[in-house]
Structure 1
Amino acid sequence: MEILNFLKALYRRRLLLIIIPIVTVIITYFLVRHMPDQYISRARISTGLTDASQHIPGQPESQENELVRDFSNMIQIIMLKQTLDQVSYQLMLHDLGSKQPFRKPSKLLEAYSEQEKQEAILEFTNLHKKQGELLPDSKLHTRLYDLVKSMKYDEGSIRNTIQVYRVSNSDYIDVESESENADLSAFIANTVTSEFISIYAARVAGNRTKTSDWLYRLLMEKLAAMNAKMEKLKNYKIQNHILNLQEQAKALYGQISDFETRREVTEREIVSTEAALQGIENKFSPKDRKYLEGTMTGVQQEILVLKDQLKMLNQQYVTSNFNQGIKLKMDSLRNKLGDKIAESSDKYIYSPLSAKTELVSEKLKLEVALDLSKNSVSSISNELTRLNSRLYHLVPHEAMVQSFETDIDVASREYLEILNKWNEFNMGTGSTNKLKQVEMAIAGPPQPSKKMLLVILSGVISFVFCTFIIFILFMMNNAIEDGQLLANKTGIPVLGTVNLVKRGNIDLHSIWSDTSENTRLLKNQLRALRLEIGSDLSEQDKILGITSLEAKEGKTFLAVNLAYAWSVANSKVLLIDGNFSNPAITNLVKPATFIEDYLSGKASLSGQQDGNLTILGNRGGDASLMEIADRATIQEKLQALKQKFDFIIIDTATLDVMDNAKEWLIVSDKTVAVFESGKSVSASKKEQLQYLAEEQRMLGWIVNKA
C-alpha cells in the first residue's frame, strides 16, 4: 500500500520528474560540448618485494600482510606533496625553457618579464635539487606558488590527474596520468615515477644509515660491558690467587677420596692385627711372658727406636701425599727392623723347654705393623682435615667466579645477538633499493569521449535525486491522501470521496447541468454519496448532521450539494444552517426564515425554497442551540419537521468547537464527518477522533478535495 501511495506521489509530480532532468541534460550538454579530449599514459614500477630472484639466498619471504603494508607505504609516498612538488618543478622548468610548452601560459606567466622567468627557473632548479616542498612561507615562494597554481601544475591539480595502484597481486605498481595533452600525460607519469624512485632511495638509505649507526653504538656498548665483566673476573682471580677452581676442586676431591680409601683399609688392618696379637698372647703362659720380658730388654730397646723412626717416616709419607722417595726409606727401615726381630729370635730368650720361638717373632712383627697402622690412621685423618679445610675455602670463590661467569655469558650472548643483527643488516643494505622503472609512459591516442556519458549521467542523476527528494518528503509527510488510509488510522469507515473543485463560486444548478468531465465526475460522486447515506437513513432516522474536524474542510459545500442531490431526486429536503459562529449557508442563500425564530415559535416554516429544497438560516453571533430552546422543544420541533420532509440535513459547527457541534449531533439521527484530503491526523485532534469513534450514530467519513 505504501508503495502504491509513493507511486501516486510520483505521478502527481510527474512534470517535475520530467522537466528537471531535461533542464539538467541541456545544461550539461552546453557545459561539456567544448570539453577537450583526454589522453592517458601509464608507467610501471618493479618493486622487487615479491620477485624471488632479487632476494638474498636464505632470506625468508614476506607475509601477505607485510606486502600489503609495504605496497601501501610506497603508494602513499608517491602521493606525498614532496613527490608531487618535484613534478611541479619539472613541469614549470619545461614550460619556462621550452618553445613548445605543454600548456598555454597563464595570465600571470604572460606578465613575467624575461629576467623574472630566468629567476623563476633558477629558484625552481634549486628547489628541485634540495627536494624541498613549495610552501607560501615567504614572498618569493608565494609568487612561485601562485605561478604554479595558475598553470594548474600545483600538487593538488597533479594529484587529481594521476592514479597509482598495485597491479593485482603482482610485483608492479602502475602510475597513470590523464590530461588534455598526450605528451603532458606521458611526462607526468614518467616524472612521478623517477622522482618517487629517487626520493624513496634517499629515504631508505638515510634510514638504513641511522639504523646501522644505532646498531653499531649499541654493539660497542655491549662489547664494553662484556669486557668490563671479564676484567672484573680477572682481577678477582689475581687478588685471590685462583688459577683454575674447577681443576683445583677436582684434585682436592680426588685426594680426599684416596685418603678416605686408605683410612678405611688401614682401620681394617688395625682390627685384624689386634685380633692376631690377641690370639698370640693367649698362647703364652704367664711364666713365658715373664721370661720373655726379662731376657729381651736390650734388643727391645733397639726395636723401639726403629719403630719411632718408622713412625716418623710414615707421617712424612702421608703428609707428602705418599711420596715414593719416603716410601723407599720406610722399606729400608722395615728391613732393619725385621733383622732386629730375627736377632731377638736367635737368642734363647725363651725357656729352653718352650717351643714358641716362631710365635715370639710373629708377635713382634704384628706389634710393629699395628703401631704403623695406628700412626697412619692418625696421619691420614689429619691430612683429610687439612684437605677438607682447603676445599671449604674454595666454595665462596667458586660462587663468586660462577656469578662473574654468568654475567659474562649473558653479556656475550647480548653482544653476539647485536653483532649478528648488525651483520645481517649490513649484508642487506646493498640489495635494499630494488625499485626500477620497467615500462616508460608514452603518448597514446585520445580516450573515448565521455561527453555523451556525462550528459546521460546528468539526466539519470537528476532524476534519481528528484525521486529521492520526493521519497524523503513522502516519508516525512503524515498527510492522509485516500479513504483507506483514513479508515485505517481512525477505525471509522469511509462512505465516499469527493474530488477537488477548482472554481471559486459554485452554482448548484451548473453542477447538475454542466457536461464537462470534472463536473460529471463530481456529480457521480455526489450521487454515490446520496445512495450510500440514503441507504443508512430510514423513516425514523431522517436527520443527518454533517461536521468536520476543523474549518474549511468543505463541510458546508457537501451539505449544500447533498441537499441539492436529494432535491433533484424528488425528495423533500430541509437544509439547516446550524453553524452559528460561521453561517456560510445563510450568507450565501439569504433565507427568509431563521432557526432561532422557528424554535422559539416566532415564525412558521416558510424559508427560501428551491424546488424540493427548503433552507433554514441563523442569525449568527455567539449563540448556542440549547440557549435558543430546551431540548424537549427542540426534539418536538424537529419531530414535526420529520413529518414534512424526507431528509433533514444540518450543517453543524466544527469539532474544534466541541460543545456547539455536539448540541446538534445529539439531536441528529445520524452523523457524517468531512475530512479534507492531504491533512494529517495530529495528536491535537485525538479528543475529536475519540468522540467520533465512540459515537454510535456515526455513519463514516466523506473525503473531500481528493
Structure 2
Amino acid sequence: MIDVKAYLKYLLRFKWVLGLVPIVSVLITAYFVKDMPQKYKSTAQLSTGLTDESKQTVNPGQNMDYFKVSQQFGNIMEMMKMKRVISGLSTKLMIHDLTDKATAFHPWSDIISELTDAQRKEALVKYQDILSKNGVLSAADNKELPLYNLTVSMGYDEESLLKNLEINRSGESDFINVSFTSTNPDLSAYVANTLSNDFIVYYMSSSSLNQRASLTLLDSVLKVKEAMMNQKNAALKNYKIGSGVLNLDKQSSMIYQQISEYEARRAQSVNQIQSLQGALADINRKLSKGEGSYVGGNHVVANNEIVNLENQLQLANQRYINNNFRPEDKRAVDSLSRLRTAKLAAVAEGSIGDPASVKQNLLDQKLKLETDLSMAKNGISSLDAELRILRSKYSVLVPTDANVQNLERDADVATKEYMDALNNYNQSSLQSTTSLRLSIAQVGLLGTPERSKGILYVALSGISSFFVCLLAITLAFLLDRSIKSPKQLETITNSKVLGLLNFIDEDNKDLRDIWEDEDNVKDYSIYKDLLRSLRFELNQQVDDKENVLAITSLDKGHGKSFLASSLAYAFAMMGKKVLLICENSPGLTEIIQNANQKTAHQKFESFLVKKEIQVADRITVLNRNPNNNSLLEMRDAQSLFVGFNILKDTFDLIIMDIDPIKQSNKVKEWLMFADKSIAVFKSGQKVNEEEKEQMAVFSQHKSFIGWVFNQVKGDYTVTTG
C-alpha cells in the first residue's frame, strides 16, 4: 500500500518540474497555434425515408424494427465512405483545380507546378477518363503521370478527405448529416454537396441494378414453379377421368354409409329371426304336451312367479335392514312389491278358457310365426347380396383413393411453391417501385469560421504535460526501493525504530560546538533534540548491570561512528563515565574534544594486556585496531570476559563501535560481550534481498533492541515506534 505522506513529500521535491514543464509546454503550443488557419464547416442533410411513415407504401401501419433501421442507417453511412465513392470525389476535385488555377480550392502543389502545361492537360484528360469509367484512383495510376501522387499532394486522397469528413445520423431522426471541414469555405460546401449527390446517384443505380437482377431471377423461378404446378394438376385431372371418379371422397363416404345401414338392417333381421324361432319353439312345446300344458298351465306358472317374487322381496327387505336403510335398497323393495301386486292382480282376473279354443289360437299363432320367419330369412339373403355389391365397390375405390391422394398432395405442394414464388416476385416488384429514395433535404452552404481550437490545444498541452510529469514522478516513487522513513524500516526489518537523527550538512561537526549552540544553527538544535530522545530510549534499556552497548550498521557510510561519539557525549552530559571503544581514528577524538584539550589515544589491545585505563574527563576513548580479523584470536573468551567485567565496574556505560553487519564473523564475536545492541541505517539507502535477510537475522539477536534511522533530510517530525 502506498505511503501517502511519503508520496506527497516526494512530490514536493519535484514541484519545480510539475510547474515548469507545463508552462514551457503551454508556451510552445501557443507559439505553434497562433497562426493556425481558420476552419470552415459545411453540412448537407440527406433524407432517407426509413423512419418517415408518410413515405412508406409497404406495410405503413406495421411496427418499426429499430434494430433493422439502425442497421440500414449504418450500411448507408459506411457505403458513403467506400473507395469508389470517395475516389469519384477525389477525381472531381482534381479536375476542378486543374481546370483553372485561379478558381482552385487549394494552391497548386509543388508537384503540379513543376508539370508543363501539356502534362497538366494530359493529367486532366486522364482524370476525366477515370471519372467517366467510374474507376477507382489508386497508386497503380502513377505509370505515365503520377496521378495518385498529384492527388495526395493536393490533400484530395481518400485518407485526407476522410480525416476531415463526418457522416452521422442526426439523433433518431430520418436524416443523415454529411459535414466537411477545411480552410476554404467553398471547398467545404463543394465536398459536402458533391459527395451527397454522387452517393445518391451511386446508391440508386446500385439498388436498381440489384433489384432488376433479383426480379429476373424470381421471374425465372416463378415460371418453373408454374409449369410444375400445371403438370401436377393435369396428372390429377387425367387420372380422375381415366378411373371414372368424379368426387372420390363423396362417393366413398356414401358407399360406406350404405354399408353401415345394410349391416344394421341385417342385424335387426337376425334378431327378429331368433325371436320368431324362440316363439315357435315355445308353441310347439305346449302343443306337444297336450291340454294340460296350455289349460290352467298359466296359473301354475303365475303362482310360481308370485312365490319367487315373495322370496326375492323377503331377501330385499333383509338387505335393506342390514345396509342401514340405503335408498337404493329401498327402491329395490318397492319395485319387487309392485311386481308382486301386479302379478296377483293378473292371476285374480284370469279364468280358465275352452281347451279347443286355446289350441286353435296356438295353431294360428304358429302359422303366423312360421310365415314371418320365412319372410325374415328371405330378407337376410337379399341384404347379404346388397352388402357384397357395396363392399366390392368400396374395395375398388381404396387403391384409387390412394393414388388420388398422392396426386393431390403433389399438386398441393406444387401450387404452394408457385404461390410462394409469386408472392416473392410481387413483393420484390413492389419494393423495387417503392424502394428507398434518398434525397437532399438541405444542401451544404458556405459557413462562418469555426471557433478556433487553439485555446483548447494550449489547455490540453498544459494539462497533458502536467499529468505526464505526475505519472513519471509517481512511477519513479513506486519503483524507488530506497528506505526514506522509519515506518518503512520497521516494515522491512519487523523491528522497532528507537529514534531518528537528522543530517548535519556542516564542515565542523565538533560535538561541543553542537551542544553549546544556542539555536544559531537549525540543524544543531534539531540534532540535539533528536539525540536526547534517543538517549532517553536507550537509558530505559541500559542499567548498571547491563551497561555494554554495541553499535553497528548495515554497511559502511551509515554514520555509526559519529552516532557512537554523539551518544558518548550525550551520556557524559548526564554525568556518566562513558567508555567509547572504536576504530583507530584520530579524527574521532577531535570530534569529542576540543583541539586544546586533546589527550593521548589509548589502545584497546594494551588494555587487554595491562588491564589498566586512564580516564580523562567523563569520556574515555579506546581505539581498537580495525585490521584485527578476530577478537578471539587476541585473547581467549574467558580473559575477554574478565577484561570486560573490569570495564563494566569502572564505567557507567560502555559504547562499542563495532564492524558493520555484513562482516558477520566480527560482529558475532563483539556481540558476545554486549548487553544491548543497536543498528544504524542511513536514510535513502536501498536494500536488496540479501541485505534484508542479514538485517532480519541481526534483528533476532537476543541483545538487539532496535534501529536508529540516521541522516534524515527535510521533515524530522516523524513519529517512531
Same topology, TM > 0.5: yes
Contact kept? 1:555, 1:651, Cα under 8 Å: yes
Q: CA separation in 1, counterparts of 2:543 and 2:277?
A: 156
User: Does residue 598 in structure 1 map to residue 599 in structure 2?
Assistant: no
The answer (yes or no) to whether the contact 1:161–1:177 under 8 Å persists in 2 is: yes
Shift of the 25–500 alpha-carbon distance from structure 1 to 2, 3 Å rule, reads farther
Question: How much does 1:178 deviate?
Answer: 1.7
Contact 2:123 2:145 in 1 (8 A): no
Secondary structure at the aligned position of 1:6 is classed as helix
The answer to whether the aligner puts 1:390 opposite 2:393 as a matched pair is yes
Report the residue type matching 2:605 in the other structure.
E
Aligned to 2:159: 156
AA partner of residue 484 (structure 2): E
Per the alignment, do residues 574 and 242 of structure 1 end up closer, same or farther by CA in structure 2, a change over 3 Å counting?
same
What is the CA-CA distance between 1:63 and the residue it aligns to?
1.6
Aligned partners of 1:398 and 1:591: how far apart in 2?
141
**Matched residues in 2 for 1:248 and 1:123: separation?**
82
The correspondence for 1:463, drawn from 462, 466, 475, is 466
188, 192, 195: which is aligned to 2:198? 195
Question: d(CA) in 1 for partners of 2:567 and 2:25?
Answer: 49
Matches of residues 499-578 of structure 1 in structure 2 within 5 Å?
Answer: 499-501=502-504, 515-566=520-571, 572-577=577-582
Would the alpha carbon gap of residues 20 and 268 (structure 1) be closer, same or farther in structure 2, given more than 3 Å must change? closer
Gaps of 5+ in 1: 279-362
Larger CA deviation: 441-450 vs 380-389: 380-389
- What residue is the counterpart of 2:45 in the other structure? 44
CA contact (8 A) 2:503 2:523 kept: no
The residue aligned with 1:669 is 675
Tell me by how many angstroms 1:652 deviates: 1.7
Could you say what secondary structure the match of 2:139 adopts?
coil
Aligned runs of 1:234-383 on 2, under 5 Å?
234-237=237-240, 240-249=243-252, 252-253=255-256, 381-383=384-386
User: Please, which of 422, 426, 432 is the counterpart of residue 419 of structure 1?
Assistant: 422
Query: Could you tell me how far 1:186 is from its partner in structure 2?
Result: 1.8
Distance 1:464 1:668, change over 3 A: same
Task: Give the 5 Å matches for 1:476-491.
Answer: 476-491=479-494
Q: Is contact 2:498–2:708 with CA below 8 Å preserved after alignment?
A: yes
Residue 643 of structure 2 aligns with which residue? 637
CA distance in 2, matches of 1:215, 1:257: 53
Alpha-carbon contact 1:494-1:703 (below 8 Å) kept: yes
Aligned partner of residue 617 in structure 1, secondary structure? strand
Pair 1:623 & 2:629 matched: yes
Give the whole-Å Cα distance in 2 for the aligned partners of 1:583 and 1:175.
88
5+ residue gaps, structure 2: 282-366, 593-598, 713-721
Q: Kindly provide the CA deviation profile for residues 215-243 of structure 1, in whole angstroms up to 9, marking residues without a partner as x.
A: 33433343343334334434544554544
Counterpart for residue 90 of structure 2: 88
Q: 1:454 to 1:396 in 2, by over 3 A?
A: same
Deviation at 1:53, TM superposition (A): 0.5
Helix, strand or coil at the partner of 2:166: strand
Q: How does 1:141-220 map to 2 (within 5 A)?
A: 143-220=146-223
- 1:677 touches 1:703 (CA, 8 Å); kept in 2? yes
Q: Give the Cα–Cα distance (whole angstroms) in 1 for the partners of residues 130 and 588 of structure 2.
A: 90
Q: Secondary structure at the match of 1:498?
A: strand
CA 1:632–1:422 in 2, change beyond 3 Å: closer, same or farther? same
Deviation at 1:370, TM superposition (A): 11
Partner of 1:100: 103
CA–CA separation in structure 2 for the residues paired with 1:97 and 1:459: 46
Q: 1:579-598, aligned counterparts within 5 Å?
A: 592-598=601-607
1:105–1:375 CA distance, 2 compared to 1 (3 A):
same
Distance 2:497 2:136 in 1: 75
Aligned residues: 622
Distance 1:451 1:375 in 2: 122
Alignment of 1:140 onto 2:143: yes
Give runs of aligned pairs for residues 58-69 of structure 1, distance below 5 A: 58-59=59-60, 60-69=62-71
Offset of residue 507 of structure 1? 6.0
Instruction: Sort the Cα spacing of 1:236 and 1:622 in 2 relative to 1 into closer, same or farther, 3 A.
Output: farther
Which residue is 2:301 aligned to? none
Deviation sequence 1:231-267 (CA, Å, 0-9, x none): 4434544554544433543564576578778978999
Q: Among residues 690, 700, 704, which one is paired with 1:694 in the alignment?
A: 700
Distance in 2 of aligned mates of 1:680 and 1:80? 60
Percent sequence identity over aligned pairs: 34
SS class of match (2:96): helix
Structure 2 vs 1, CA of residues 249 and 475 (structure 1 numbering), >3 Å: closer, same or farther?
A: same
8 Å Cα contact 1:583-1:620 kept in structure 2: no
With 14-23 and 519-528 compared, the bigger mean Cα shift is at 519-528
Q: Using the TM superposition, name which of 420-429 and 218-227 deviates more.
A: 218-227
AA aligned to 1:62 is: M
Q: Write the distance in 2 (CA, Å) between the matches of 1:129 and 1:585.
A: 99
Question: What is the CA–CA distance in structure 1 between the aligned matches of 2:28 and 2:385, rounded to whole Å?
Answer: 121
Alpha-carbon distance in structure 1 between the residues aligned to 2:625 and 2:589: 8
Residue number in structure 2 paired with 1:8: 9
Query: Hey, what's the Cα distance between the residues in 1 that align with 2:255 and 2:701?
Result: 122
Counterparts of 1:409-448 in structure 2, within 5 Å, are: 409-448=412-451
> Take 2:590 and 2:75, find their aligned partners in 1: how far apart are those partners?
84
Deviation per residue, 1:98-147 (Å, 9 max, x gap): 32212122111211222222222223223334443322235439822221
Q: 1:466 to 1:90 in 2, by over 3 A?
A: same
Could you tell which deviates more after superposition, 180-189 or 200-209?
A: 200-209
**Residue identity matched to 1:79:** K
CA displacement at 1:165 relative to structure 2: 1.9
SS in 1 for 2:49: coil
**Per the alignment, in what secondary structure is the counterpart of residue 447 of structure 1?**
coil
TM-score of the two chains, using structure 1 as the length reference: 0.77
Give structure 1 regions of 4+ aligned residues with deviation exceeding 6 angstroms.
257-275, 369-377, 582-591
Which residue identity lines up with residue 70 of structure 1 in the other structure? Q
Are the counterparts in 1 of residues 186 and 446 from structure 2 also a CA contact under 8 Å?
yes
Tell me what 1:349 maps to: none
* Pairwise CA distance, 1:566: 4.6
- The answer (yes or no) to whether the contact 1:135–1:141 under 8 Å persists in 2 is no
Equivalents in 2 of 1:6, 1:139: separation in Å?
60
Taking a change above 3 Å as real, the CA distance of residues 268 and 613 of structure 1, as seen in their structure-2 partners, is closer
Quick check: 2:50–2:436 contact (8 Å CA) kept in 1?
Answer: no
Instruction: Work out whether residues 591 and 617 of structure 1, in 8 Å CA contact, stay in contact via their aligned partners in 2.
Output: no
| Mean Cα deviation higher: 689-698 or 162-171 | 689-698
2-structure distance, mates of 1:553, 1:221: 101
- Partner secondary structure for residue 135 of structure 2: coil
Pair 479,269 (structure 1): closer, same or farther in 2 beyond 3 Å: closer
Q: What is the one-letter code of the residue matched to 2:25?
A: T
What is the CA distance between 1:28 and its match in structure 2? 1.3
State the 1:395 CA deviation.
0.4
Closer/same/farther in 2, CA of residues 548 and 392 from structure 1, 3 Å limit: same
Q: Amino acid of the residue matched to residue 559 of structure 2?
A: G
> In 1, distance between residues paired with 2:533 and 2:542?
14
Q: Distance in 1 between matches of 2:272 and 2:649?
A: 162
Question: Cα gap change, 1:260/1:542 in structure 2, threshold over 3 Å: closer, same or farther?
Answer: closer
The C-alpha deviation readout for 1:478-505, integer Å capped at 9, x for no partner, is 4332113323443422222223455789
Letter in 2 for 1:616: L
What is the CA–CA distance in structure 1 between the aligned matches of 2:274 and 2:604, rounded to whole Å?
159
Q: Report deviation, 1:637.
A: 1.9
Matched position secondary structure for 1:671: strand
